[in-house]
Amino acid sequence: MVDLPRTDPGAGISRPAGWEGIVADWSSDQRAFKNVSWGKAMMWIFLLSDTFIFSCFLLSYMTVRMSTVEPWPNPSEVFALNIGGRHIPLILIAIMTFILISSSGTMAMAVNFGYRRDRLRTAILMLATALLGATFVGMQAFEWSKLIAEGVRPWGNPWGAAQFGSSFFMITGFHGTHVSIGVIFLIIMARKAWRGDFDRERRGFFTSRKGNYEVVEITGLYWHFVDLVWVFIFALFYLW
Amino acid sequence: MTDDTSNVIQSLSVAEVADVELYHPKSWITKYVFSQDAKIIAIQYSITALSIGLVALVMSWLMRLQLGFPGLLSFIDADSYYQFMTMHGMIMVIYLLTALFLGGFGNYLIPLMLGARDMVFPYVNMLSYWVYLLAVLVLVASFFVPGGPTGAGWTLYPPQAILATTPGKQWGIIVMLVSLMLFIVGFTMGGLNYVVTVLQGRTRGMTLLRMPLTVWGIFTATVLALLAFPALFVGSVMMLLDRVIGTSFFMPAIVSMGEQLPYGGGSPILFQHLFWFFGHPEVYIVALPAFGIISDLISTHARKNIFGYRMMVWALVAIGALSFLVWAHHMYVSGMHPAFGYFFATTTLIIAIPTAIKVYNWVLTLWRGDIHLTVPMLYALAFIVTFVNGGLTGLFLGNVVVDVPLSDTMFVVAHFHMVMGIAPIFAIFGGIYHWYPKVTGRLLSDTLGKLHFWVTFLGAYAIFFPLHYVGLMGVPRRYYEMGEMAFVPPSTATLNAFITVVALIVGAAQLVFVFNLVRSLRRGRPAGGNPWGATTLEWQTPQTPPGHGNWGKTLPVAYRWAYDYSVPGAAQDFLPQNQPPVPRTA
């Protein structure tokens, strides 16, 4: 048998302090994040990557806004609606933002009921979230068609820099795609919750992994992220 | 640093997938084609990457023939030269090196080295390969579209990338951008898997600071890729919009062929920033896995523990972090504000510190080691010298004042081929010679391997050393022919012819490698489970090649770090990571 430095099972484990302690905690056995499942870790890391995508989009928008020599159209005017004879700036976008933020609330409630294993309430709240999301996308489609009717195109618009339309359609389009994908996933997950897949640990059709209520939270992470990104788009594109 | 902590390994509940949780293939198709086994996916990735790499090799031949013997081949005109150059660069950097290191080595080694049964989400992992294959097929399709592939250079700088005078303007550039976006989507699916497997899917006892450096290298590179590819993705989307529907993100007001184009107000420099925010980490995406692989090869084949393991880890992480702060050193001559050059030159030179730590540690690992000059070891040694050579010219180019005259000359070409072309490819060769016995159960032929090594190694130097000189003489890169330029001395023409002849020979030597790979499948010497006497877990599998689920009924437990070679008093000159320590008896 090999003769090696020996271990004394009776000796206590000394825990390093300070930076070394942080390193030791992070690098410790099996898992860096102790109570985090694989799926949740994967979603967080995906969202980090996606953050870089949206950051690049927004930074690029700011760069072209500075590089263009034409005047930048005034968002308050462009995104104003005439309602009941009154000219209200940014009203549509305010409603859209309100709806999307509210959907984060219903999503959070769905996660809560999911962990209480209340399958009907979970499913209903997820469907409500999906409905609010779909409303958001619908209003975005209305906004797009209104702007298109007014002559805004990705390559030009009546009021100034062409990059206004280019950035608008690209960024809201990319975000709207995210919302739409979220809506689809919410509907699929709501169906699974409704059917009781998470109670019976029914295996997924593609992945053949057992279902559980944590999937609701993971879907929620994505949904909250999409909402958060919207706040930045709203601030940097509409309010600036 | 033989840290035994056998008394703490029971403290966590087990987060492992039981054998039954894995998808068990029911037919030949699900076992070998649409496989969810990371090992099969790794082989699929590797074969695809090496195959498309051969296409890039042929293109480098054609370019070299034009440079060495201008006009020799009548079918190479200026347009096709640029197309070959673009496709060679793009394939080598992204579709070969990135895919092979992360998709190939990553998929094979991460679960095995960590004592896991598979990647955390095998189904997503499978999709990753098929999207990658689709990206490669779309890329290949660009050879067959009207106008051929794009000739914009692998950096695809606008405005020229989408102007009418650039070859491949009709379809080539569109197909290229779509292929890149597909690649990024496919890579993200795989990359998330690699990162989560490393962070959350390790076996008992496998702390992060006991992981083999190969895993550390691949892990850090994957994190870089997940954060760097978004910039390329966004750049591709915007250029595609510029090209297809006429937006002006990157396009300033411009007159082309005597005609005012409908573009205006965009920022071409913006693309360069986006591209290099991806492009510089990309250098380390291919270098860090190579660093890791080389560390393990050197330690194993010199029968010595790696010198300064923790410093090696910190150096990897530091290089990874710094690589996001240096991108604009590719843009000193782009018209960027000179103050930025000052900043980026400083950060660039700081990277030399962790890199030097790694090189010194490799050398100190070799010092007084029991060096076995096997083929993997030869490649590891070749990697070190090549990488140091390429790194030293990097110090030249990182300084603004030296870079400005050298920019866009063959010196730059020689530099980046040494440091991120030849060096990582040596690591890949070394890795393949090292792990082939685990993948197939048979050793590659040593004779053919040494022939392949010496021709490739000496040839690479014969190609790229003179190229530095050619660059210093002022020969610009990306020129189809020199014509009658007075500043280019005739000696460079002679050297160019010499380089071309060597390049043809080195290229042909790769056929020896391919032959060796195919022949050894059947006729190679049976390797047994652990032919190199290595400590890491992938060599301790119950079967060779490892079966589905890797470990049979029970997962291994890691009791020690990965570098217990030549431990005094031990019966063998290596102690596998899963060998338990002897408990103290009274």
pTM, entire model: 0.94
Q: What is the pLDDT of residue B338?
A: 84
Whether residue A42 lies within 8 A of chain B, CB to CB, comes out as: yes
Cβ–Cβ of B196/A45 closer than 8 Å? yes
The mean predicted confidence, pLDDT, of chain B is: 92
The DSSP result for B232-296, as a single string, is HHHHHHHHHHHHHT---SS--S-EETTEE-S--S--HHHHHHHHHHHHHHHHHHHHHHHHHHHHH
User: Which of B2, B188, B207 lies at the smallest CB-CB distance from A5?
Assistant: B2
Closest chain B CA to residue A156? B247
Whether residue A203 lies within 8 A of chain B, CB to CB, comes out as: no
Residue B12: pLDDT over 50: no
Q: What is the pLDDT of residue B7?
A: 44
Q: Which residues from B are below 8 Å from A205, CB to CB? A: none
Max alpha carbon distance in chain A (Å)?
93
Query: Which residue from B359, B347, B288, B340 is spatially nearest to B322, judged by alpha carbons?
Result: B347
User: Which of B188, B201, B267 lies at the smallest CB-CB distance from A63?
Assistant: B267
User: Which CATH number among 1.10.1040.10, 1.10.3720.10, 3.60.20.10, 1.20.120.80 corresponds to the domain A37-239?
Assistant: 1.20.120.80
The mean predicted confidence, pLDDT, of chain A is: 91
Whether residue B209 lies within 8 A of chain A, CB to CB, comes out as: yes
Mutation target vs B (from A36, A53, A60; most B CBs, 10 A cutoff): A60
For residues A59-70, average pLDDT: 94
Cβ–Cβ of B121/A7 closer than 8 Å? no
For residues B494-512, average pLDDT: 96
Under the banding of pLDDT at 50, 70 and 90, the label for residue B10 is very low
Q: What is the pLDDT of residue A12?
A: 57
Q: What is the pLDDT of residue B18?
A: 52
Whether residue A239 lies within 8 A of chain B, CB to CB, comes out as: no
Q: What is the pLDDT of residue B561?
A: 93
CA pair distance B579, B77, nearest whole angstrom: 62
Residue A122: pLDDT over 80: yes
Residue B6: pLDDT over 60: no
CA pair distance B251, B287, nearest whole angstrom: 33
Q: What is the pLDDT of residues B129-173, one digit of tens each?
A: 999 999 999 999 999 999 999 999 999 999 999 998 899 999 999
Instruction: Report the percentage of chain A scoring pLDDT > 70.
Output: 95
Q: What is the pLDDT of residue B584?
A: 63
Q: What is the pLDDT of residues A25-58, one digit of tens each?
A: 888 888 899 889 999 999 999 999 999 999 999 9
Residue B65: pLDDT over 70: yes
Q: Which residues from A are below 8 Å from B8, CB to CB? A: 13, 29
Cβ–Cβ of A2/B570 closer than 8 Å? yes
Whether residue B241 lies within 8 A of chain A, CB to CB, comes out as: yes
Residue B183: pLDDT over 80: yes
Whether residue B162 lies within 8 A of chain A, CB to CB, comes out as: no
Work out whether the CA dihedral B284, B287, B288, B291 comes out positive or negative: negative
Residue A2: pLDDT over 80: no
Q: What is the pLDDT of residue A9?
A: 52
For residues B430-459, average pLDDT: 97
For residues B506-510, average pLDDT: 95
Q: What is the pLDDT of residue A3?
A: 47
Whether residue B12 lies within 8 A of chain A, CB to CB, comes out as: yes
Residue B130: DSSP 8-state: H
The DSSP result for B193-225, as a single string, is HHHHHHHH-PPTT--GGGS-HHHHHHHHHHHHH
Instruction: Report the percentage of chain B scoring pLDDT > 90.
Output: 85
Q: What is the pLDDT of residue B487?
A: 81
Greater confidence (B474 vs B362) lies with B362
Cβ–Cβ of B265/A67 closer than 8 Å? yes
Boundaries of every domain in chain A? 37-239
Instruction: Report the percentage of chain B scoring pLDDT > 70.
Output: 96
Q: What is the pLDDT of residue A109?
A: 97
Q: Which residue has the tokens 């640029």?
A: B82
Residues 6+ positions from B244 with CB-CB distance below 8 Å: B174
User: Which of B196, B229, B582 lies at the smallest CB-CB distance from A4?
Assistant: B582
Greater confidence (B572 vs A125) lies with A125
For residues B195-212, average pLDDT: 94
Q: What is the pLDDT of residue A207?
A: 82
CA pair distance B464, B419, nearest whole angstrom: 11
SS3 breakdown of chain B: % helix, strand, coil, rounded to 5? 65, 0, 35
The DSSP result for B366-412, as a single string, is HTT------HHHHHHHHHHHHHHHHHHHHHHHHSHHHHHHHTTBHHH
Q: What is the pLDDT of residues B70-128, one digit of tens each?
A: 989 999 999 999 999 999 999 999 999 999 999 999 999 999 999 999 999 999 999 99
- Between CA B529 and CA B534, with CA B533 as vertex, the angle to 5 degrees is 90
CB pairs under 8 A between A and B: 191
CA pair distance B218, B211, nearest whole angstrom: 11
3-state SS, chain A, equals CCCCCCECCCCCCCCCCHHHHHHHHHCCCCCCCCCCCHHHHHHHHHHHHHHHHHHHHHHHHHHHHHHCCCCCCCHHHHCCEEECCEEECCHHHHHHHHHHHHHHHHHHHHHHHHHCCCHHHHHHHHHHHHHHHHHHHHHHHHHHHHHHHCCCECCEECCECHHHHHHHHHHHHHHHHHHHHHHHHHHHHHHHHHHCHHHHCCECCCCCCECCCHHHHHHHHHHHHHHHHHHHHHHHHHHC
Under the banding of pLDDT at 50, 70 and 90, the label for residue B483 is confident
Q: What is the pLDDT of residues B223-243, one digit of tens each?
A: 999 999 999 999 999 999 999
Cβ–Cβ of A207/B208 closer than 8 Å? no
Q: What is the pLDDT of residues B535-576, one digit of tens each?
A: 999 999 999 899 988 988 888 999 999 999 999 888 889 999
User: Which of A8, A23, A45 lies at the smallest CB-CB distance from B584?
Assistant: A8
CA pair distance A22, B208, nearest whole angstrom: 13
Structure tokens that stand for B12 in this block: 């966590």
Work out whether the CA dihedral A77, A82, A87, A88 comes out positive or negative: negative
- Range in A183-197, B139-153, B486-500 with the lowest mean pLDDT: B486-500
Residue B445 main-chain phi, psi, to 5 deg: -65, 130
Whether residue B231 lies within 8 A of chain A, CB to CB, comes out as: yes
Query: Which residue from B565, B553, B556, B552 is spatially nearest to B537, judged by alpha carbons?
Result: B556
269-288 of B, contacting A, C-beta below 8 A: 270, 273-274, 277
The ipTM, to two decimals, is 0.93
- Range in A27-36, B244-253, B375-384 with the lowest mean pLDDT: A27-36
Q: What is the pLDDT of residue B8?
A: 43
Q: What is the pLDDT of residue B80?
A: 94
